[in-house]
A and B are shown apart, each in its own frame.
Chain A
Amino acid sequence: MSKTKYILGSFADPDDMMHGIDKLQENNVPIYDVFTPMPIHGIEDKLGIKRSRLPKAAFGFGLLGTLTAFTMLYYMLVYDWPMNIGGKPAFAAPDFIPVMFELTVLFGAYGMVFTFIYKNHLFPGRAPRVMNLRATNDRFIIAIDAQEVKDAKKVDSLLKGAGAVEVLHNDRKYVSYE
């Protein structure tokens, strides 16, 4: 084997790229990852990626917000220091709703986004793990781990056959450290 670490098929058209994925899969070539400048619908099914569980996480965080708000309001207004405001009951449940709603949204949104950032290892200052600089611009990149394929030439021709504009052999995994 040469020094090649990753073989990248660079496509100019998302449909050609999807075709490329099919071709590779038909020939049992394992795909490491796919990098695209925009979300590609239907690609998860092709690559067998499971549905994201983030919506469930968001629901959980939202519920946490609701409960936090209720507990806080109940503690402050009913338990700790009930105030006599025009003789009205301290536990004025309908008045609790706006703040409970706002905290539900706040916790749900922030909890979900932070989970997203955490799970994708995104944070300010992280060195971007980019394999090809045009993947965020106009190219759709299929990356194949060169260690896992026996015949690199065949992968090249499969990618070319599917319509890849160029096929790159990268000696380093990520280009963006330079």
Chain B
Amino acid sequence: MSSHHESILREPLITGENITYAKVTDDVLVPVENKANRAWWIGFTIASLGALMWVVAVSYTFWTGIGAWGLNKTVGWAWDITGFVWWVGIGHAGTLISAVLLLFRQNWRNSINRSAEAMTIFAVICAATYVISHMGRPWLAYWPLPLPNQFGSLWVNFNSPLVWDVFAISTYFSVSLIFWYTGLLPDIATIRDRATGLRRKIYSVLSFGWNGSVKTWQRFEAVSLILAGVSTPLVLSVHTIVSMDFATSVIPGWHTTIFPPYFVAGAIFSGFAMVQTLLLIARKVMNFENYITMFHIESMNKIIIVTGSIVGVAYLTELFIAWYSGAEYEQYAFLNRVSGPYWWAYWSMMTCNVISPQLFWFKKIRTSIAASWILSIVVNIGMWFERFVIIVTSLHRDYLPSSWVMFYPSVVDVCVFIGSIGLFFTLFLLFLRFLPAIAMAEVKLLVKTSSEQSKKALIKAGKVDKEHAKFYVESLDKYDSVNQADYAKN
């Protein structure tokens, strides 16, 4: 298999000279096998201060109760659930990259899946902390579990999406975790076999004694494929169920059948934006330019346009259906979103999610690193506003005008949210430092078929149609890690 050359017309997935199996290992393990550099320490210090703030803010919430937040009797859900849905959504891109793209045999996933899956796990951890802290009495957090009546409650109500969510989120977290960890085993073994002393002992325990024999690899591949197969419907079910937390209630603006696909598209959209935010920096700081190439960045930007447009269509459909329904309350809910006191949140959402990603239609913009990074942040902000708009604007003016209020976040609300970002980055930076951020074994599969160097060798050997070679060299124009002049003499 490894000797089959892929079409010259396809862009290379690994660039750079002298890419060998050993070089892949060396390059990927630089951050793991060496002392952390200053950039890492600065990032880690800031992130762990954020995480500390999160610990303080969540502890304060536990101590005083959710009265510490800006909630009131009309708006009983606000920043907490906004943060929860935002984080769960971000997690979805990891599973999409590792599972759905594996099923579609998209080889470009090989160099980004590991860090995207890590991101999934950390994002779901952040989301889960919101679930616990918004309960108000976290010591009763076991109540949604199906426990016998002696534990203080009746059997849980399995007709409720909130109970489905308990099962969905915990299954999602558990399955993502083993999917990620099984994939890590061969790479941890690589670190183990290069390390000495205590490091070798630690990585030896973590590697489960992996040795890369034929049978191990064969079963490993079967496991990866099946896990990808079950994770694909799983990831769709998770955000569908999250959306049902809203859709099955009778609140105008929530009670719509469009919610599941709309939420899933939004989740993929925000997840890819977060992958972009993280990887554009990681690629630069950790010198991964040859593995996470412009092709990867452009492909992700294309997914961002598609999902952003789906989300845009969903927003417009919502507005149309609200008008078309003839239901007074539904119509008012949307009128209030667009032009009520939270109009700025609605229009921030529209601008960030629907209008600005359309800039990616321009090739110049979607292959520019600076523009991709800025737009990915814009999308992250927009998706946060989307959840805020859905949750708060639907609640703050309910059926009874005498109870209409505004929601203002308290300092604790803000600290929990910013702190959760700190927690996320702390975990992510630790991951970059101690585990290989690129799936080495999977990237090694591409060395002989899809690397720039193998394609260059083919052209040199004159095995390629001249026209095709010309097309290929032109397609390299966008790469920042390739020198096109190398091809001029051929």
Q: List chain A positions with a Cβ less than 8 A from chain B.
A: 12, 14-15, 33-44, 47, 49, 52, 54-55, 58, 62, 72-73, 76-77, 80-81, 83, 85, 88, 92, 95-96, 98-99, 101-103, 105-106, 108-110, 112-113, 116-117, 119-131, 133-138, 176
Contact = CB atoms under 8 A, between A and B. Distances in A.
Contacts of B233: 101, 105
A34 B212 CA distance: 8
A137 B190 contact: yes
A16 to B, nearest CB: 10
Contacts of B3: 14-15
A146 B190 CA distance: 27
A130 B377 CA distance: 45
B223 interface: yes
B215 A49 contact: yes
Interface in B139-188: 146, 149, 154-159, 161, 163-164, 167-168, 171, 174-175, 178-179, 182, 185-186
Contacts of A124: 205-206, 208
Contacts of A136: 186, 189-190, 192-193, 210-212
Interface stretch (B118-126, B426-434, B438-446, B463-471): B438-446
B135 to A, nearest CB: 20
Most buried by A among B157, B185, B222: B222
Given A38-B444, A81-B149, A109-B175, A33 B213 contact: yes
Contact of B158 (A34, A62, A95, A113): A95
Given A44-B218, A54-B223, A102-B237, A62 B230 contact: yes
18 contacts: A12-B20, A34-B214, A37-B21, A37-B212, A38-B217, A39-B441, A80-B155, A98-B167, A98-B237, A102-B237, A105-B230, A109-B174, A109-B175, A110-B178, A126-B208, A127-B204, A135-B193, A137-B194
Contacts of A129: 209, 211
A36 B212 contact: yes
A168 B338 CA distance: 74
B447 to A, nearest CB: 9
Contacts of B167: 98-99, 102-103
Given A110-B174, A123-B208, A41 B1 contact: yes
A131 B211 CA distance: 8
B451 to A, nearest CB: 14
Most buried by A among B156, B167, B186: B167
Contact of A54 (B185, B190, B209, B219): B219
B208 A113 contact: no
B198 interface: no
A73 to B, nearest CB: 5
Contacts of B1: 40-42
Contact of B211 (A15, A58, A128): A128
Nearest to B445: A38
A14 B448 contact: yes
Contacts of A92: 159
A103 B166 CA distance: 12
A37 B219 contact: no
Given A131-B211, A133-B194, 12 more contacts: A15-B2, A35-B212, A39-B220, A49-B218, A55-B225, A81-B149, A92-B159, A99-B164, A116-B220, A124-B206, A130-B193, A137-B21
A44 B193 contact: no
A81 B222 contact: no
Contacts of A42: 1
B2 A41 contact: yes
A54 B226 contact: yes
Interface of B: 1-3, 20-22, 25, 146, 149, 154-159, 161, 163-164, 167-168, 171, 174-175, 178-179, 182, 185-186, 189-190, 192-194, 204-223, 225-227, 230-231, 233-234, 237, 241, 440-442, 444-445, 448
Contacts of A113: 178, 182, 223, 227
Contacts of B216: 120, 122
A103 B171 contact: yes
Contacts of B21: 12, 37, 137-138
B5 to A, nearest CB: 12
B241 A98 contact: yes
A130 B403 CA distance: 70
B97 to A, nearest CB: 18
A166 to B, nearest CB: 14
Nearest to B21: A138
A15 B454 CA distance: 14
B214 A49 contact: yes
A133 B182 contact: no
Most buried by B among A81, A108, A116, A131: A116
A133 B219 contact: no
B214 A43 contact: yes
B487 to A, nearest CB: 25
A127 B448 CA distance: 32
Contacts of A121: 209
A109 B445 contact: no
B214 A44 contact: yes
A81 B205 CA distance: 47
B27 to A, nearest CB: 12
A26 to B, nearest CB: 19
Contacts of B231: 105, 109
A80 B150 CA distance: 13
Contacts of A122: 185, 208-210, 216
